[in-house]
Amino acid sequence: MWLSPFSVALNSPLGTAAGEITDRQGLLVGCSVDGQQGIGEATPLAGWTESYEDCHRTLESIASNDERDGVPELPDPTRRPAAAHAVDLARCDARARRESQPLAALLRHQAEIRGTVPDSVPLNATIGDGDIEATVSAATTAIENGYQWLKLKVGSRTIGSDIERVRAVASGVGERARIRLDANGAWTRAQATRVLKGIADYDIEYLEQPLAADKLDGLAALRGRGTDIAVDESLATHSLTEIIEARTADVVVIKPMAVGGPTRAVQLAVRAREAGLTPVVTTTIDAVIARTAAVHVAAAIPDVTACGLATGSLLESDLAEDPVDISEGRATVPPGDGLCGDGFDTLWDGDSSE
């Protein structure tokens, strides 16, 4: 197994719970399975995964203990999810290419899911936290570009302002698109309750992470008020079993990088469905290899709802040309075996630019 560090710049700084970031640091990983090469990506994100340093040390240890052409050991996905993602993806890419099938088909087979892999998956457009005029304009543009789902960022303004923004978008959109809200854990239970009352007449599909990640009881108490409750950050701090048992949510947002790889992401989606939860796949603002894998994860889930995978535009630079075409509110599943046939072969053995 080999690994190679990389860094890709963001178009503009991104604010996170751990502070502002201007670039995404990660590692490429390569391995061979029965002579077939495969590639993976680890792009840690503080608050969601282990640190870059821990991820690097973990992958270095695995590489030093493996033969170059050996199948590497999978790190613990609950403790080192980004490292596990890289290794799992590299192994799955190699196996899918060896078996002459797309990665999504291999993921379905591993999860015992029947059916044909779709050619594309639906996406939601993310609408920022601008004022009413800017928000309505962005929503209108997204619909004109073919999006049928909109995810509106809320939580950084006053409760009253956010309610007015949601009402304005809902009134302007009508039945042309479904609206989702994402508060990123910004509110108290009382504030979230006020928002749910204020938007009750507007058929909002779901409200994502209205409370802090650890407030499982509070999240559960917000359910049944006319708008579904989704969890995102909560899955980084609690297991899916805990979320299900606490009756915390109607929707669960699954980030392959944060849960330990494409194999586990599909397994969690299956478990969520069995428990009556709707799975949604998103990224952690990854480079092109992990983003491509996330599209395959979404395609492996039968009848998947719109996912948050259109994040490549947030990067100023990338590792390779993006094999996923995003148009009319959908992401194509790349043709070819594994991730995208030989599309990433130029990166083999770390041949990437930093």
Global confidence as pTM: 0.95
Q: Structure tokens of 217?
A: 């009881």
- As a whole number of angstroms, the distance between CA 114 and CA 47 comes to 35
CATH number at residue 21: 3.30.390.10
Question: In the listed set 44, 66, 101, which residue is the last one of a domain according to the structure?
Answer: 101
Q: Is residue 108 part of a domain?
A: no
Of the candidates 151, 153, 197, 215, the residue annotated as catalytic is 153
pLDDT value for 47: 86
**How do residues 132-163 score in pLDDT, each as one tens digit?**
999 999 999 999 999 999 999 999 999 999 99
Q: Is 243 helix (H, G, I), strand (E, B) or coil?
A: helix
**Residue-range definition of the domain harbouring residue 317:** 120-339
Of the candidates 151, 197, 215, 255, the residue annotated as catalytic is 255
Assess whether 37 and 88 both reside in one domain: yes
Q: Is residue 182 part of a domain?
A: yes
255 is catalytic: yes
197 is catalytic: no
Domain count, the chain: 2
CATH number at residue 126: 3.20.20.120
Do residues 234 and 212 make contact, with C-beta atoms less than 8 angstroms apart? no
Assess whether 188 and 141 both reside in one domain: yes
pLDDT value for 21: 81
Assess whether 267 and 312 both reside in one domain: yes
Q: pLDDT below 70 — which residues of the chain?
A: 15-19, 66-70, 349-354
Q: Is residue 290 part of a domain?
A: yes
Assess whether 129 and 93 both reside in one domain: no
Assess whether 88 and 128 both reside in one domain: no
Say how many CA atoms lie within 13 Å of 168 toward its Cβ: 18
